[in-house]
């Protein structure tokens, strides 16, 4: 969890200008293409959005200069009412109107969570907009970002998500808050009984949908095009993107999806505890009253009378009911297959061809899901398994590796150990890394085969391989979430020892993303070619340390994982 902006100031305008974010690798060409595409080059001269207020459906709002020249940011705009009091565990309600001009110069409160640094409250349904448009007459493509954090942590004001560079490349960037933990995902029979649709448990997803509806109504005032909206996120944010891409309530609200990490085949056991995990309604309705009882509440009225501080424990609570084929367990509070927001899980949705027909860009990282840098083997042998909800097991000793393989693969364990052999602790750690990385790449490849049966839009997949500099380099490597600041082109914090290579990677990845949000194709002049996904070609685009297609695994290993997934229950 990163610190709030006031404790880690963003780079100055001048330092961002020195990054030359439109001039590296594909910058000038891609940037020019984007500006032509959104009409900025031909837009008539008009008063800057920075100089005058913007009218949205709840009143007038004014922005402030962002961390890049020519970009304005509007912080903390309410998109829905407070979730306190009677609105706790209700779908998001309309935001109140205001008189005069609201100065959007301060980020809004974060959702309640376990944090000692964030300003939090239940009046947290706010969003932030970065735009380089000169007036509301422009129509630039829009990128809506959903944070990760296991559905129990995160905020749209995290400085890693600063949208200045992407906005300078022609994109209107929106980051949002949504409810977390029990406040976002509690389900009980009493809550379902008071709901007009007879369901409960998906308040956080309903927040995201409400934010997308706000974008549809208001983004034109910021120079955005409501017809060209992309939704993206990482980890639980990627899970949210996956779920919105399946939700009928989100149909038509966006055209493209970006899922950074953990898009998996529906029969991959890893899906059961990572940030894309789902709950079934029956289990959620049993867990909710048990959780309420742990708070000393037996009725919904008693639950609503408790202070929000009593509901910030989501990051420490596991769902022990899920067999993940490992020691890992998912967070207790996460989205629910409720028959309305999520009519079905992944497999049934794909089989019914019921997903929204959106473009997709999805990928995984070199050192995540239990893979760790070779320089960290000794560290993990001493530290042991990271025993927290959603955390993957790390296998760096021979005994642990073999016992985990027998637990996960059962009758196929001997075949697995033949494909990924080990005789010492170091060999076991290396074999575990190989297996984890093959698993993630093959799983996403096989997911693509299922997804594209019911969606006609292009899919692009990636594998992130660059290990950022600094204190995390040897221990965490290309860790879970390390790609985010590069895609945003926002190398945060600026005190980290970023190199020219890092700045070039950030320009390349942010250009890929800006192109994709604009056109549905990440490619542009000067960029290494990123081929679209093809079901018959088991390859993935490496990005970061190198650029170009790489095979997801050797043919015999692809066949092994395909057969193994076929033996598992669908999620």
Q: Which residue has the tokens 């007009």?
A: 196
* Secondary structure (3-state) at 92: coil
Residue among 222, 224, 214 nearest 253 (CA): 214
What φ, ψ does residue 184 adopt, rounded to 5°? -100, -20
User: Which residues, including other chains, have CB under 8 Å from residue 66's CB and lie 6 or more apart?
Assistant: 72, 73, 130, 162, 163, 164, 167
**Structural contact between residues 284 and 191, judged by C-beta atoms closer than 8 angstroms:** no
Q: What is the mean pLDDT of the chain?
A: 92
* Secondary structure (3-state) at 130: strand
How confident is the model over 313-339, as a mean pLDDT? 97
Can you list the positions of beta strands (E) in 37-190?
54-56, 59-62, 64-65, 72-78, 101-103, 126-131, 140-146, 172-176
Q: Verify whether residue 235 is a known catalytic residue.
A: yes
Residues 128-162 have pLDDT tens digits of 999 999 999 999 999 999 999 999 999 999 999 99
419 pLDDT higher than 50: yes
First to last CA, the chain: 28
**Structural contact between residues 313 and 306, judged by C-beta atoms closer than 8 angstroms:** no
pTM: 0.92
Q: Which two tokens stand for residue 287?
A: 């867990």
Residues 479-527 have pLDDT tens digits of 999 999 999 999 999 999 999 999 999 999 999 999 999 999 999 999 9
300 pLDDT higher than 70: yes
Residues 312-325 have pLDDT tens digits of 999 999 999 999 99
Instruction: Determine which of 23-32, 112-121, 328-337, 363-372 has the lowest per-residue pLDDT on average.
Output: 23-32
**Structural contact between residues 227 and 216, judged by C-beta atoms closer than 8 angstroms:** no
Q: What is the pLDDT of residue 48?
A: 63
Q: Which helix (H) or strand (E) holds 509?
A: helix 500-519
* Secondary structure (3-state) at 559: helix
**Structural contact between residues 163 and 107, judged by C-beta atoms closer than 8 angstroms:** no
Q: Domain 5-370+440-551 carries which CATH code?
A: 3.40.50.1820
What φ, ψ does residue 8 adopt, rounded to 5°? -135, 85
233: β partners: 146, 259
Alpha-carbon gap, residue 447 to 450, rounded angstroms: 5
User: Which residues, including other chains, have CB under 8 Å from residue 458's CB and lie 6 or more apart?
Assistant: 359, 360, 520, 521, 532, 533
Q: Which helix (H) or strand (E) holds 543?
A: strand 539-543
User: Which residues, including other chains, have CB under 8 Å from residue 520's CB and lie 6 or more apart?
Assistant: 255, 256, 359, 457, 458
54: β partners: 61
Residues 65-116 have pLDDT tens digits of 999 999 999 999 999 999 999 999 999 999 999 999 999 999 999 999 999 9
Q: Which helix (H) or strand (E) holds 381?
A: helix 377-383
Catalytic residue among 157, 192, 200, 235: 235
Alpha-carbon gap, residue 266 to 215, rounded angstroms: 31
Alpha-carbon gap, residue 443 to 392, rounded angstroms: 16
């Amino acid at each position: 969890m990163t610190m709030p902006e006031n404790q880690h100031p963003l780079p100055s305008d001048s330092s961002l200008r020195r990054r030359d974010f439109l001039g590296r690798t594909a910058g000038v060409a891609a940037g020019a293409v984007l500006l032509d595409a959104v009409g900025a080059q031909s837009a008539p001269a008009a008063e800057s959005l920075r100089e005058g207020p913007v009218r949205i459906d709840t009143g007038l709002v004014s922005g402030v200069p962002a961390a890049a020249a020519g970009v304005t940011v509007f912080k903390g705009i309410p998109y829905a009412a407070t979730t306190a009091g009677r609105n706790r565990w209700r779908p998001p309600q309309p935001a109140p109107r205001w008189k005069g001009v609201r100065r959007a110069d301060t980020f809004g409160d974060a959702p309640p969570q376990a944090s000692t640094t964030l300003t939090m409250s239940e009046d947290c349904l706010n969003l932030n907009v970065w735009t380089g448009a000169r007036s509301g007459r422009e129509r630039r493509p829009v990128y809506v970002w959903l944070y990760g954090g296991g559905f129990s942590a995160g905020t749209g004001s995290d400085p890693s998500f600063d949208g200045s560079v992407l906005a300078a490349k022609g994109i209107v960037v929106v980051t949002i808050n949504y409810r977390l933990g029990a406040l976002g995902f509690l389900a009980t029979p009493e809550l379902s009984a008071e709901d007009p649709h007879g369901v409960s448990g998906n308040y956080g997803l309903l927040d995201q949908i409400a934010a997308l509806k706000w974008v549809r109504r208001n983004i034109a005032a910021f120079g955005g095009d409501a017809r060209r909206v992309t939704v993206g996120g990482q980890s639980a944010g990627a899970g949210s993107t996956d779920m919105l891409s399946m939700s009928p309530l989100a149909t038509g609200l966006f055209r493209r999806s970006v899922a950074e990490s953990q898009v998996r085949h529906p029969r991959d056991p890893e899906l059961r505890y990572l940030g894309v995990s789902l709950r079934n309604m029956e289990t959620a309705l049993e867990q909710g009253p048990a959780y309420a009882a742990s708070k000393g509440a037996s009725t919904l009225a008693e639950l609503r009378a408790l202070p929000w501080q009593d509901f910030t424990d989501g990051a420490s609570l596991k769902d022990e009911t899920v067999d993940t084929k490992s020691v890992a367990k998912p967070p207790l509070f996460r989205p629910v297959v409720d028959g309305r927001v999520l009519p079905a899980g992944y497999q049934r949705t794909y089989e019914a061809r019921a997903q929204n027909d959106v473009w997709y860009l999805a990928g995984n990282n070199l050192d995540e899901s239990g893979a760790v840098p070779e320089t960290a083997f000794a560290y993990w042998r001493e530290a042991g398994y990271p025993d927290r909800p959603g955390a993957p097991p790390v296998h760096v000793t021979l005994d642990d590796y073999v016992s985990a393989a027998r637990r996960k693969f059962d009758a196929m364990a001997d075949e697995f150990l033949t494909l990924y052999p080990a005789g010492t602790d170091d060999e076991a750690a290396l074999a575990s890394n190989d297996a984890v990385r093959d698993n993630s790449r093959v799983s996403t490849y096989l997911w693509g085969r299922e997804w594209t049966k019911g969606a006609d839009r292009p899919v692009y997949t990636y594998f992130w391989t660059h290990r950022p500099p600094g204190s995390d380099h040897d221990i965490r490597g290309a860790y879970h979430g390390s790609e985010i600041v590069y895609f945003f082109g926002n190398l945060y914090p600026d005190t980290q020892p970023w190199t020219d290579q890092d700045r070039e990677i950030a320009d390349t990845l942010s250009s890929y993303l800006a192109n994709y949000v604009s056109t549905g194709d990440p490619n542009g002049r000067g960029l290494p070619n990123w081929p679209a996904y093809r079901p018959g070609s088991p390859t993935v685009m490496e990005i970061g340390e190198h650029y170009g297609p790489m095979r997801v695994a050797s043919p015999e290993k692809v066949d092994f994982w395909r057969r193994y997934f076929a033996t598992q229950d669908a999620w």
